[in-house]
Amino acid sequence: MQKQIIIFVLLFLGSQMLLGQANVYHLGFSDGTKTPTTFCVDIDASFNVNKKLGSSNLMFDFDPLVLDNPVVSSTPLDVATNYYGLSLTTPQQGQASLNVVLKLPGAGNGHDFSTSPAAIARVCFDVLDQTQPIELNWLENSSFQTVVFDDNNTASSPTQLVSGILENFNQTSFPVSWLSFEAEMGEFDALLKWETGSEINNDRFEVERATEGGDFVVIGEVKGVGNSVLVNSYTFVDKDVKQYKSDKLVYRIKQVDFDGTFSYSQRVEIQLDQRVQLLAEAYPNVFDASLKINYQSTTFEEIKLRIVNELGQDVFKTTNTAFQYAYEIPTEDWPRGIYVVFLASGNLHQEFKVQKQ
């Protein structure tokens, strides 16, 4: 498969100086995730000093033979309080404009930005040709000021919004091209499977899980192949997932490069069947030197095992906390006769009659 490299080229935009000092703002694309049908990327921004984001018009272009239908899928900005909202327009084919409109420009409103990059919005595209590399390029908007920042002075009027110089924020080549990611529920465990179409300096995958409404936590790690232009398949088993008191579990994969840069896969979910079961068997039904007892439980409570003789006396007794277990009990010294095997866990019970010959 053709090596797919996602390259983001950030172009320099010139603007005016304010009071002899340049206000430097940064724009970039990060955390790109690609499937055979969709591509999503975060638009990041930062400033050389603490400022607030004012009304903005962020222009970029893309190859319309590779991508189509850009939409804003999410935004962390405080839209209800400070902004009329974020919208994405397409002035012409292969071009997009992310529009940020401040409700009260010049009054100290807006979203706080510092020197640390923060996501403005996540933009998603339909992928038309998954064999081609994806390029997004910043453009200078010649019609009106491309990016403006509120000077955070409550006495300022809308005409006193400050502009600045755009520097290259980053030039990113995402190290993994995601082909698929899915999860399926087994009897006790969740099986995660994913494939990559290419890998560049890929160190590892960190598997993260969240219960419904909870935060993601790292539950395991799978090593990457480093560099590859072939399709690579990976699996990870999340064991005994029915112990989590949740109707569903959510998974994502964090891909980590050798230099520490990372990106995330899409999220997948599994539904948990919370019905409790205790499945057990005792064999052979007519035994001699040993008796075998197996069980599987979804109660996650102690499993109590008792075997009694015809007089109601215990000949074997134990408690186990394992979700599944296999016993082989020596019975050479037991007298001939009928024995009853009892297994119990909470309100669940199993009972078997067996015979020593």
| 312-343 residue pLDDT tens | 999 999 998 877 889 999 999 999 999 999 99
The three-state (H, E, C) secondary structure of 120-152, written as one string: EEEEEEEECCCCCCCEEEEECCCCCCCEEEECC
Q: Out of 39-43, 219-223, 236-240, 263-267, pick the least confident.
A: 263-267
- The span from the CA of 202 to the CA of 257, in Å, is 5
What is the rounded average pLDDT of the residues 102-114? 67
Number of C-beta neighbours around residue 262 at 10 A: 18
Tell me the pTM: 0.43
User: What's the rounded mean pLDDT across residues 226-233?
Assistant: 86
**219 phi-psi bin (left φ>0, alpha ψ -120 to 50, beta other):** alpha
With CA atoms as reference, report the closest residue to 203 among 148, 258, 141, 240. Answer: 258
Work out the burial of residue 314: count CB atoms within 10 Å of its CB; fewer than 13 is exposed, 13-18 middle, 19 or more buried.
Answer: exposed
The span from the CA of 290 to the CA of 287, in Å, is 6
Distance CA 181, CA 218 (A): 17
- 140-161 burial, b if ≥16 CB within 10 A, otherwise e? eeeeeebbbbbbbeeebeeeeb
pLDDT of 354: 94
First and final C-alpha spacing in the chain: 65
Supply the pLDDT for residue 152. 44
Counting residues of the chain whose pLDDT is more than 70, the rounded percentage is 77
d(CA 130, CA 35): 8
Question: What is the tens place of the pLDDT at every residue in 178-212?
Answer: 778 899 988 778 999 999 877 888 899 999 999 88
Q: Which residue has the higher pLDDT, 280 or 77?
A: 280
What rounded mean pLDDT belongs to the chain? Answer: 77
pLDDT at 159: 34
- pLDDT, residue 149, reads 52
72 and 46 Cβ atoms separated by less than 8 Å: no
pLDDT band at 218 (very low <50, low <70, confident <90, very high): very high
CA dist 84 and 277 (Å) reads 53
Which one has a higher pLDDT value, 57 or 12? 57
Residues 119-163 have pLDDT tens digits of: 888 899 998 887 677 777 777 655 544 455 544 444 443 333 344
Give residue 80's identity as a one-letter amino acid code.
Answer: A
Residues 52-92: tens digit of each pLDDT:
777 777 888 888 988 899 999 888 776 667 777 788 999 88
pLDDT band at 24 (very low <50, low <70, confident <90, very high): low
For residues 251-270, give the mean pLDDT. 84
Q: How far apart are CA 29 and CA 9, in angstroms?
A: 9
Closest CA relative to residue 100, chosen from 89, 91, 108, 90: 89
Phi, psi of 104 (to 5 degrees): -125, 70
Give pLDDT, residue 306.
95
Residues making up the chain, counted from first to last: 357
Distance of CA 13 to the CA centre of its chain: 34
For position 141, what pLDDT does the model report?
Answer: 57
What pLDDT sits at residue 173?
47
